[in-house]
Amino acid sequence: MALATRTDRRPSMTRTLWDSSVGKKTIMAVSGLIMLLYLGVHMIGNLKIFFGSGEFNHYAHWLRTMGEPFLHYEWALWIVRVVLVAAVVLHATSAYQLSRRDIKARPSKYVHKKPRASYATRTMRWGGIILALFIVWHILDLTTGTVHSGGFQSGHPYQNVIDTFSTWYGNTIYIVAMLALGLHVQHGFWSAAQTLGAGNATRDRALKTIANVLALVLTVGFISVPVAVMTGVVS
């Protein structure tokens, strides 16, 4: 007599993690922290524009030669790009699926009004959409030059930045996106800390302060570049 074979399989640990709300929140937290680390490094790199075209262009060239001679030209940069794209996709997908799950779990409106959340909390979803659209525009403007104004010059990032921030719409898009980024970081860092278990009664105040400082530093740091171009400090 032949033994019956089992056709059902237990889902993998990865699948179980992805399907659970806790897993999605953890993925959001980790991917968010990866993007936050990148933003800090990217902001510092952007500030090199205040040291002149030579310094800024040299930094842009160094990004493409990182890891040489062990890595080939632009390999390290492409590794960073792939990691960032993966982090953005995982972050956005988790956020969307958690939002849909939350809506399905509460199909009817609350009888009693919920306490008003902070402005950052209430704008997280719209802020995410704004940032996603900005990333697309930013790449098409300063990486591929597809929508760049003034004639894109490959290998001359300093002049390309000047061109972008010499237009009213370039400044408007960038500044609005950076304000949205500040609000997103402020609430996102706090949420990530809670999800990863870093928060407690004694550390909550410190974590909120860190979140506020990070949001302020990143916002001011990024916005300082278009403001400097607009005011003629950088030209």
Given pLDDT bands bounded at 50, 70 and 90, which one contains residue 2?
A: low
Which pLDDT score is estimated for 119? Answer: 53
Q: What is the mean pLDDT of residues 176-190?
A: 92
Q: Are 218 and 58 in contact (CB under 8 A)?
A: no
Question: Comparing 28-37, 47-56, 98-107, 145-154, which segment has the lowest mean pLDDT?
Answer: 98-107
Which pLDDT score is estimated for 121? Answer: 57
The pair of three-digit structure tokens given for residue 19, joined into one six-digit string: 């399907």
Which helix (H) or strand (E) segment holds residue 194: the answer is helix 168-195
Is the backbone peptide bond immediately before 11 cis, with ω within 30 degrees of 0? no
**What is the pLDDT of the chain when averaged over all its residues?**
86
Measured distance CA(76)–CA(22) in Å, rounded: 32
Measured distance CA(55)–CA(31) in Å, rounded: 31
DSSP string, 134-188: HHHHHHHHHTS-TT-SS---TT-HHHHHHHHTTSHHHHHHHHHHHHHHHHHHHHH
Per-residue pLDDT tens digits for 61-70: 999 999 999 9
Given pLDDT bands bounded at 50, 70 and 90, which one contains residue 72?
A: very high
Of residues 147 and 199, which shows the higher confidence score? 147
Q: What is the mean pLDDT of residues 196-205?
A: 79
Q: What is the mean pLDDT of residues 51-64?
A: 94
Which pLDDT score is estimated for 73? Answer: 93
Of residues 227 and 208, which shows the higher confidence score? 227
What 3-state DSSP class applies to 190? Answer: helix
Question: Does residue 141 carry a pLDDT above 90?
Answer: yes
Which pLDDT score is estimated for 1? Answer: 47
Which pLDDT score is estimated for 18? Answer: 79
Q: What is the mean pLDDT of residues 71-94?
A: 94
Of residues 123 and 161, which shows the higher confidence score? 161
Question: Does residue 12 carry a pLDDT above 60?
Answer: yes
Q: What is the mean pLDDT of residues 72-93?
A: 94
By percentage, how much of the chain surpasses pLDDT 90? 61
Question: Does residue 34 carry a pLDDT above 80?
Answer: yes
Which pLDDT score is estimated for 14? Answer: 79
Q: Are 29 and 196 in contact (CB under 8 A)?
A: yes
Q: What is the mean pLDDT of residues 95-122?
A: 64
Q: What is the mean pLDDT of residues 69-80?
A: 94
Measured distance CA(217)–CA(224) in Å, rounded: 10
Q: Are 157 and 64 in contact (CB under 8 A)?
A: no
